[in-house]
């Protein structure tokens, strides 16, 4: 990954524009045992599955978006998800939200795609000893989190559905990004885990939505060890609901949380914890949730910091011929400083970390 060596004033204005981004992750469950099993370890018999998964799931997600739009008569949002990262057995997509209803729209669409993959790989003709789990979270920019521009080899459209990783225009750093990577530890093929602020956003936008709540759990390195709400979207209600699952839910009295109770709790939790958590807002959705009173002041400060730590166009090389090795050294230092200021390494935790 190569970061831009120089930023123009328009680049800085773009980075400082308020944006709320939704991150959606699908991870393979049981991949280690699958790769080591006698039937697949020899001659890397597992490789075909992973090549197919990496190439086909983005298309499955794109089809699910169109399908969900048709089924619900909801127009497909202007901004479309694209593939941001591939991390071992995990694919992470990102999309900018422009309206309060879009979070639930994309979560529902992603659930459709994940369910289709689960059905095919656990019961269909592509049956294998693996499954999938999903996670979703949001992060606000530029206050609290940062988007770092990536130098791209071409000018492919940012709006193209599910672009290849090399076409992603930004890398993303910050506490909210890191927190999201920790959440998959609580998920499984049924529990589609949502961050607390994403769950709040979805509940606030739809008073008919019901989500599950399983108490608070601590995550190492997150919020100073303070327990975090575990909220999940039930994938089992999508196309593969089973009598067995219904019976077990009845035995353990498992049911979705009350809408108002969970909404009020999450709002209280976010406000009580404070930074890095924030009541989410969408800048373009003016009739929904307003930003904090001092948000514009914080944003102006960030713009000043971007001008200070990022070299401007022409700054590295007065001749205008580019920064060369000097440019690379400067941008490496910039990335290190951004990560230090955010209190984040910008990388997901090791597999199995709590």
**Would you say 283 and 19 are in contact if contact means Cβ atoms under 8 Å apart?**
yes
pLDDT in tens, 243-302: 666 666 766 667 889 999 999 999 999 999 999 999 999 999 988 999 999 999 999 999
**d(C-alpha 132, C-alpha 114), whole Å:** 7
pLDDT reading at 51 higher than 70: yes
Average confidence score pLDDT of the chain:
83
**d(C-alpha 125, C-alpha 36), whole Å:** 22
Which structural domains are found in the chain, ordered by start?
19-290 (3.30.70.1230)
**Following CA atoms 171, 176, 177, 179 in sequence, which dihedral angle do they give, to the nearest 10 degrees?**
160
pTM for this entry:
0.83
Structural tokens at position 216: 């608070």
Region label for 208, one of left (φ > 0), alpha (ψ between -120 and 50) or beta (otherwise): alpha
pLDDT in tens, 193-206: 999 999 999 999 99
């Amino acid at each position: 990954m190569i970061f831009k060596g120089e930023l123009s004033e328009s680049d800085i204005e773009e980075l400082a524009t308020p944006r709320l981004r939704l991150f959606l992750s699908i991870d393979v469950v049981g991949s280690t045992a699958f790769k080591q099993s006698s039937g697949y370890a020899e001659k890397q018999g597992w490789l075909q599955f992973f090549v197919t998964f990496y190439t086909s799931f983005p298309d499955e997600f794109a089809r699910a978006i169109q399908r969900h739009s048709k089924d619900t008569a909801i127009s497909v949002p202007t901004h479309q998800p694209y593939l941001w990262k591939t991390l071992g057995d995990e694919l992470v997509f990102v999309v900018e939200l422009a309206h309060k209803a879009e979070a639930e729209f994309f979560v529902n669409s992603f659930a459709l795609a994940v369910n289709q993959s689960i059905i095919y790989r656990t019961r269909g003709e592509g049956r294998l000893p693996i499954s999938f789990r999903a996670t979703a979270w949001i992060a606000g920019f530029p206050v609290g989190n940062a988007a770092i521009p990536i130098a791209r080899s071409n000018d492919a459209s940012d709006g193209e559905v599910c672009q290849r990783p090399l076409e992603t225009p930004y890398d993303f750093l910050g506490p909210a990004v890191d927190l999201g990577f920790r959440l998959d530890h609580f998920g499984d093929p049924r529990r589609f885990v949502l961050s607390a602020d994403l769950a709040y956003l979805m509940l606030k936008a739809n008073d008919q939505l019901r989500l599950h709540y399983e108490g608070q759990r601590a995550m190492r390195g997150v919020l100073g060890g303070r327990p975090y709400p575990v909220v999940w979207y039930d994938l089992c209600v999508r196309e593969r609901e089973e009598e067995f699952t219904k019976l077990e839910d009845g035995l353990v009295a498992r049911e979705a949380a009350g809408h108002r109770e969970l909404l009020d709790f999450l709002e209280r939790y976010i406000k009580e914890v404070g930074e890095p958590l924030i009541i989410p807002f969408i800048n373009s959705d003016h009739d929904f949730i307003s930003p904090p009173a001092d948000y514009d002041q914080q944003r102006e400060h960030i713009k000043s910091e971007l001008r200070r730590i990022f070299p401007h166009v022409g700054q590295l090389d007065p001749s205008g011929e580019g920064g060369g090795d000097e440019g690379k050294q400067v941008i490496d230092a910039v990335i290190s400083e951004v990560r230090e200021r955010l209190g984040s390494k910008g990388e997901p935790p090791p597999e199995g970390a709590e």
